[in-house]
């Protein structure tokens, strides 16, 4: 399915600023649907003077009217006149009588979406940039509870703010990926002075868990939270603005081992603040998991760092042993082992610097190439390595065997292909698609002798790494004229499926 940006751009009537505003609005899409106990649909104008749905949210607080998404569809004829009127007049338009949808009576409200031009003034776009329709099911009519009436009142206020360009708020921070409070988690309604006029049962339970006893209604939320966190050495500086409803920010409060996340949504009428909605949620377990993840990330990085140090120690011991041995064959074998260990250490060093288990292999390979300079100097050869293309990010499961394999291939090119030459070139060409990574290693050396491929230990190591660990293929052949080209194809199916 196309993204919101794609759908809006296809209609050709919205600017980049309009699209950004609509993304901010859709960020609170579920909140609006839950407060309204209704399906809500976002419509943007199209070139044929109709409207196309670009977003749809179903309420989690009641049954949905629409079991199929409208996203990407043109507006139904029965809603066209009402939506057009809201768009052309920049006013909220309600149905005069119940509208029927598949034998279910509904009430439809069309709300024009005005875009605030900047965060400091009251200027808005000259005309609406879209229309939101709210579809309320009248088939299950019953006497609403006080909570339902309050939720509906909050929804009415937010829709009025949408029509005035006051919602979404340009100063509001981006929503966190985990633990954001929802209407069903707990809702507190404040008046302009910060006094609680309504607290849902879930909101009261959340405050009870952090030590508050009694009723929140008629209390100052600022005074309640101040008493709960008294004596704490550190307090979020944004807390006073959140608990008084003066700023559209988020904060956490902690007491008695419990963490409650708060989000304030100031309610404005003609630009003047008249109250606020404060959403709250007990996020103790979420924050505990986040802290555990941070600790585990730090532990994993420290492990990679220690593994790197240990490998470098092993490489140093191998280098010392190679210098002390009198056998040329043993010295060469120890040198190869030292470089293999050092290549693995480079991968672990890169992993120790990041927060995930993926590595930028271009950085890794640039460091691996430096190891080849030692090989070239020992053979009195000047090598000019060049790297073309990009490997991109690879998981450590790919990075370690690939770094080892390329170390062997480039080392073989220097030791065998360029042996006896004063200088030479080695080119590494990496090309990546969504399905596979192709790497070609070329040198301008003597080329392959017949029957040479597959005889050496290095070649056997490369075959094992590429074919056995990476499920790839490898091919050696002599270039026209002189030199050798080795082509590696590695499928990236595992990476694609894991995203």
What confidence tens digit (pLDDT) does each residue in 68-88 have? Answer: 888 999 999 999 999 999 999
Q: What is the pLDDT of residue 151?
A: 95
Name the residue range of residue 88's domain: 4-164
Highest mean pLDDT among 58-62, 223-227, 454-458: 223-227
Taking 80 as the threshold, does the pLDDT of residue 57 lie above it? yes
- Band (pLDDT 50/70/90 cuts) for residue 25 is very high
Q: φ, ψ for residue 430 (rounded to 5)?
A: -110, 125
Kindly report the CATH number assigned to the domain that includes residue 207. Answer: 3.30.450.20
- 197 upstream amide cis, omega within 30 of 0: no
Lowest mean pLDDT among 10-24, 150-164, 235-249, 334-348: 334-348
Instruction: Please tell me which residue, 300 or 27, carries the higher pLDDT value.
Output: 27
Same domain, 137 and 30: yes
Instruction: Please tell me which residue, 252 or 328, carries the higher pLDDT value.
Output: 252
Taking 60 as the threshold, does the pLDDT of residue 212 lie above it? yes
Same domain, 420 and 273: no
Q: How far is CA 32 from the centre of its chain?
A: 23
Same domain, 266 and 156: no
SS3 annotation, 273-333: EEEEEEEEEECHHHHHHHHHHHHHHHHHHHHHHHHHHHHHHHHHHHHHHHHHCCCHHHHHH
Taking 70 as the threshold, does the pLDDT of residue 434 lie above it? yes
- Beta-carbon contacts of 123 under 8 Å, excluding residues fewer than 6 positions away, are 116, 117
Task: Judge contact between 339 and 375, C-beta under 8 A.
Answer: yes
Same domain, 207 and 138: no
Q: What is the pLDDT of residue 495?
A: 55
Residue 487 lies in a domain: yes
Task: Judge contact between 106 and 98, C-beta under 8 A.
Answer: yes
Residue 139 lies in a domain: yes
Task: Judge contact between 265 and 276, C-beta under 8 A.
Answer: yes
pLDDT (tens digit per residue) in 369-399 = 776 656 555 556 667 778 888 888 888 788 8
pLDDT (tens digit per residue) in 107-146 = 999 999 999 988 777 889 999 999 999 999 887 767 889 9
Same domain, 301 and 191: no
pLDDT (tens digit per residue) in 455-492 = 667 778 888 888 888 889 988 887 766 778 889 899 98
Residue 72 lies in a domain: yes
SS3 annotation, 461-480: HHHHHHHHHCCCEEEEEECC
Same domain, 481 and 406: yes
Residue 250 lies in a domain: yes
Same domain, 333 and 271: no
Strand, coil or helix: what is 144? coil
Taking 70 as the threshold, does the pLDDT of residue 33 lie above it? yes
Same domain, 103 and 240: no
Q: What is the pLDDT of residue 355?
A: 61
Residue 362 lies in a domain: no
Q: What is the pLDDT of residue 330?
A: 87
The Cα 256–Cα 241 span in angstroms is 23
Residue 174 lies in a domain: no
Taking 60 as the threshold, does the pLDDT of residue 454 lie above it? no
Q: Quick one: average pLDDT of 313-341?
A: 82
Taking 90 as the threshold, does the pLDDT of residue 311 lie above it? no
Instruction: Please tell me which residue, 434 or 356, carries the higher pLDDT value.
Output: 434
Instruction: Please tell me which residue, 306 or 194, carries the higher pLDDT value.
Output: 194
Q: Quick one: average pLDDT of 21-26?
A: 94
Same domain, 271 and 413: no
Q: Give one word for 416, left, alpha or beta, with left for phi > 0 and alpha for psi -120 to 50.
A: alpha
Instruction: Please tell me which residue, 176 or 62, carries the higher pLDDT value.
Output: 62
Taking 50 as the threshold, does the pLDDT of residue 496 lie above it? no
pLDDT (tens digit per residue) in 180-191 = 899 999 999 999
Q: How many domains does the chain have?
A: 4
The Cα 254–Cα 466 span in angstroms is 52
Task: Judge contact between 383 and 373, C-beta under 8 A.
Answer: yes
Same domain, 278 and 398: no
Strand, coil or helix: what is 3? coil
Kindly report the CATH number assigned to the domain that includes residue 449. Answer: 3.30.565.10
Same domain, 101 and 199: no
Q: What is the pLDDT of residue 315?
A: 81
Residue 172 lies in a domain: no
Same domain, 296 and 425: no
Instruction: Please tell me which residue, 421 or 32, carries the higher pLDDT value.
Output: 32
pTM summary value: 0.68
Average pLDDT, the chain: 85
Taking 50 as the threshold, does the pLDDT of residue 153 lie above it? yes
């Amino acid at each position: 399915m196309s993204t919101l940006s794609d759908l809006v751009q296809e209609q050709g009537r919205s600017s980049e600023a309009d699209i950004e505003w609509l993304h901010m609005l859709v960020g609170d899409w579920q909140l609006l649907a839950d407060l309204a106990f209704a399906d809500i649909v976002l419509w943007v104008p199209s070139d044929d003077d109709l409207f196309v749905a670009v977003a749809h949210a179903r309420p989690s607080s009641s049954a949905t009217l629409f079991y199929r998404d409208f996203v990407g569809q043109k507006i139904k004829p029965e809603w066209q006149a009402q939506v057009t009127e809201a768009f052309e007049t920049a006013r909220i338009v309600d149905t005069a009588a119940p509208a029927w949808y598949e034998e279910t009576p509904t009430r439809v409200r069309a709300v024009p979406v005005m875009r605030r031009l900047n965060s400091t003034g009251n200027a808005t776009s000259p005309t609406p940039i879209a229309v939101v329709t709210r579809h309320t099911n009248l088939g299950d009519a019953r006497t609403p509870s006080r909570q339902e009436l309050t939720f509906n009142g909050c929804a009415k206020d937010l829709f009025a703010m949408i029509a005035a360009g006051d919602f979404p708020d340009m100063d509001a921070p981006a929503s966190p990926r985990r633990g954001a409070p929802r209407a069903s988690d707990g809702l507190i309604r404040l008046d302009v002075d910060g006094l609680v006029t309504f607290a849902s049962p879930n909101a009261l339970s959340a405050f009870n868990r952090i030590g508050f006893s009694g009723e929140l209604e008629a209390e100052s939320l600022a005074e309640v939270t101040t008493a709960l966190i008294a004596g704490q050495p550190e307090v979020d500086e944004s807390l006073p603005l959140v608990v008084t409803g003066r700023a559209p920010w988020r904060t956490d409060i902690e007491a008695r081992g419990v963490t409650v996340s708060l989000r304030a949504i100031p309610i404005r009428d003609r630009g003047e603040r008249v109250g606020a909605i404060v959403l709250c949620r007990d996020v103790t377990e979420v924050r505990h998991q986040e802290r555990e993840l941070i600790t585990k990330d730090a532990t994993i990085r420290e492990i990679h760092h220690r593994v790197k140090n240990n490998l470098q120690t092993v490489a140093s011991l191998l280098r010392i042993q190679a210098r002390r041995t009198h056998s040329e064959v043993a010295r060469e074998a120890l040198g190869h082992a030292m470089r293999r260990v050092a290549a693995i250490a480079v991968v672990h060093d890169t992993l120790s610097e990041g927060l995930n288990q993926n590595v930028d292999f271009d950085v890794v390979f640039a460091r691996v190439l430096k190891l080849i300079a030692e090989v070239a100097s020992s053979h009195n050869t000047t090598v000019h390595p060049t790297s073309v293309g990009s490997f991109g990010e690879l998981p450590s499961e790919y990075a370690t065997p690939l770094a080892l394999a390329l170390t062997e291939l480039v080392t073989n090119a220097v030791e065998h292909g360029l042996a006896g030459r004063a200088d030479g070139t080695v080119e590494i060409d990496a090309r990546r698609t969504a399905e596979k990574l192709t790497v070609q290693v070329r040198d301008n050396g003597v080329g392959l002798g017949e029957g040479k491929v597959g005889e050496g230990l290095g070649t056997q190591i490369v075959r094992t790494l590429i074919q056995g660990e990476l499920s790839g293929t490898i091919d050696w052949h002599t270039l026209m004229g002189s030199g050798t080209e080795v082509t590696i194809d590695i499928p990236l199916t595992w990476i694609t499926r894991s995203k």
